[in-house]
Amino acid sequence: MNSVRIWYKKSGLVIYTSHLDMNRCFTRAVRRADIPLWYTEGFNPHPYLNFLLPLPLGQSGEKEPIDIKIEEDIPLDEIGRRLNSVLPDGLEIVAVTSPVNKVNEITEARYIIDIEFASGSEAEGFASGAAAVIESGVLNAEKRSKRGIQTVNLCEFTGDFSVSYAENRVRIDTCLATGTQRNLNASLLVDSLLGEFGAQPEKVSIARKEIYTANKKIFE
């Protein structure tokens, strides 16, 4: 049995596919690619396929990890080639590696958030306002957790934060707490910032670019 880490890109209309359907999609793809998945033991065996950090609905990802276990020795690049031949548009294998870090080592992720407004003045006003709010260190919002809905300060979950604008578009480049211990959905940050100013954008796109362990080391 060999452990393999698959890295995939998720874009296009596929970003609106639920996590459950993504699981089904990859399970079928692995079978169609003739990759011998290892099955768990016990009363109800199932193929071992673990999305380490599922993307929220509507968000894209540049390099997202899935761990699988296989029962044969297959070259890593061959696994990627086989999967890319059967995956639908919007899903692409960008790398296949042996796992290095454990999922509980993930601490944060970098996001690029693009927001389009109807006018340049709206974009400029929101950009300056969002920067001021984050710099103030206080942005309270209701956040769902295992203990129910709580009011939390989102700034405590936000690391690096920069915002720029050009014409009617705003771009936010930020690192957010991500992982099994602390986590902030980028959508909640965006919605809370927009709500602070009653801003109504024409379009919002959120992309996860990189995943980090402690001290901003790339998760491998």
Q: Which residue has the tokens 């690096």?
A: 160
Mean per-residue pLDDT, 158-162? 96
Show the domains of the chain with their CATH numbers: 2-99 (3.30.70.580), 105-216 (3.30.70.920)
**Per-residue model confidence (pLDDT) at position 46:** 77
Instruction: Supply the pLDDT for residue 213.
Output: 96
Q: Backbone phi, then psi, for 168, in 5-degree steps?
A: -105, 20
Strand partners, 91: 10
Torsion sign over Cα 206, 211, 216, 218: negative
- pLDDT for position 149: 85
Burial classification of residue 119, based on how many CB atoms lie within 10 Å of its CB (0-12 exposed, 13-18 middle, 19 or more buried): exposed
Q: How confident is the model at residue 167, as a pLDDT?
A: 95
Does residue 136 contact residue 185 with C-beta atoms inside 8 Å? no
- Bridge partners of 70, per DSSP, are 2, 37
Question: Can you read off the two tokens belonging to residue 115?
Answer: 């927001």
Which pLDDT band holds residue 148 (cuts at 50, 70, 90)?
Answer: confident
Three-state DSSP at 163 gives: strand
Query: What is the number of helices (H) and of strands (E) in the chain?
Result: 4, 10
Give the model confidence (pLDDT) of 47-76 as tens digits.
889 999 999 999 999 999 999 999 989 999
* Mean pLDDT computed over every residue of the chain: 94
pLDDT over threshold 80, residue 144: no
Identify which has the larger pLDDT, 44 or 182.
182
pLDDT in tens, 20-33: 999 999 999 999 99
Placement of tokens 């050009």 in the chain = 166
Residue 45 confidence (pLDDT): 76
For residue 44 the two structure tokens come to 């109800």
Position 187 pLDDT exceeds 80: yes
DSSP 88: P
Give residue-wise pLDDT tens across range 78-136. Answer: 999 999 999 999 999 999 999 999 999 999 999 999 999 999 999 999 999 999 999 99
- The share of the chain scoring above pLDDT 90, in percent, equals 86
pLDDT at 44 over 80: no
pLDDT of residue 41: 74
